[in-house]
Structure formats: structure tokens, C-alpha cells
Amino acid sequence: MEGPLAVLVGVFFIASIYLMMSRSLIRLLLGVALFGNAVNLLIFASGRLVREVPPIIAQGAYAPEGITANPLPQALILTAIVISFSFFAFLLVLVYRAYQDLGNDNNSALRMAEPENTPKPVVGY
């Protein structure tokens, strides 16, 4: 059960990094959204995928009697979904305003603050 999910998480990470390396801001935005989903699936897979009883401790016991589901990754994923959605909404508005003002969504064409005849910055050492 966890093997195919691990492969899916890997495919999500690969696809998101590929999209984030693109020059188009829309692809960058989709890559960020896909990266958030990949992280959520990774957290979900780390919490053991078992169909067991919920983690309820019987009265008078100190620990559950058998194997139970781990509630911590589920709580972390719920928080991460809210954070990633708000981050995606912020980036969506930012990209829309950049496209609305500049009329272009290409990363290399968004260099309005840099003069054209200046030397390029140092890329490596």
C-alpha cells in the first residue's frame, strides 16, 4: 500500500520542480501548488497507512490496546492545507497583478527595474 504512494509522491515532487523551473509564471504557480500537495502526501504517508481503530484510549488504560492510526500527521496536513491554499491565493493575486501591469508572464521579461546596458550580475564564483 505504501509503495505506490511513495512513487506518487516522487512523481509529484519531480513534476512540481519541473514546473517551478519554467519561465512562465502560471507554470511556476502550478508547480508551487503541486509541491504543496506532494508535501502533504509525504506527511500523510509518514503516519503509517493502516486501517485500524481510531486512537481512543479506554478508561483506566494508559495506552491503546492495539495498533491505532496516528492522528498527528492528519492534524499537520489539515494545517498545511490551509497554509498552502492561502500561499497559493497570494501568489495568484501577485501573478495576476504582474500580468495586468506588465502584460507578460515571462520571468525574463519582468526585469523592468534593471537597465538594459548594465553588465550581468555574477552567476558563479
pLDDT one-digit tens code per residue, 29-44: 999 999 999 999 888 8
List C-alpha distances in Å: 114 to 85, 105, 118.
32, 17, 8
pLDDT band at 14 (very low <50, low <70, confident <90, very high): very high
Range from 35-39, 48-52, 58-62, 88-92 carrying the lowest mean pLDDT: 48-52
Closest CA to 32 of 88, 95, 108: 88
pLDDT tens digits for range 66-104? 777 777 888 888 999 999 999 999 999 998 998 888 888
User: What percentage of the chain has pLDDT greater than the value 90?
Assistant: 37
pLDDT of residue 49: 65
Answer whether residue 6 shows pLDDT above 90.
no
Element containing residue 32 per DSSP (H, E): helix 25-46
What topology does CATH give the domain 2-52+67-107?
Helix Hairpins (1.10.287)
Q: What are the domain boundaries of the chain?
A: 2-52+67-107
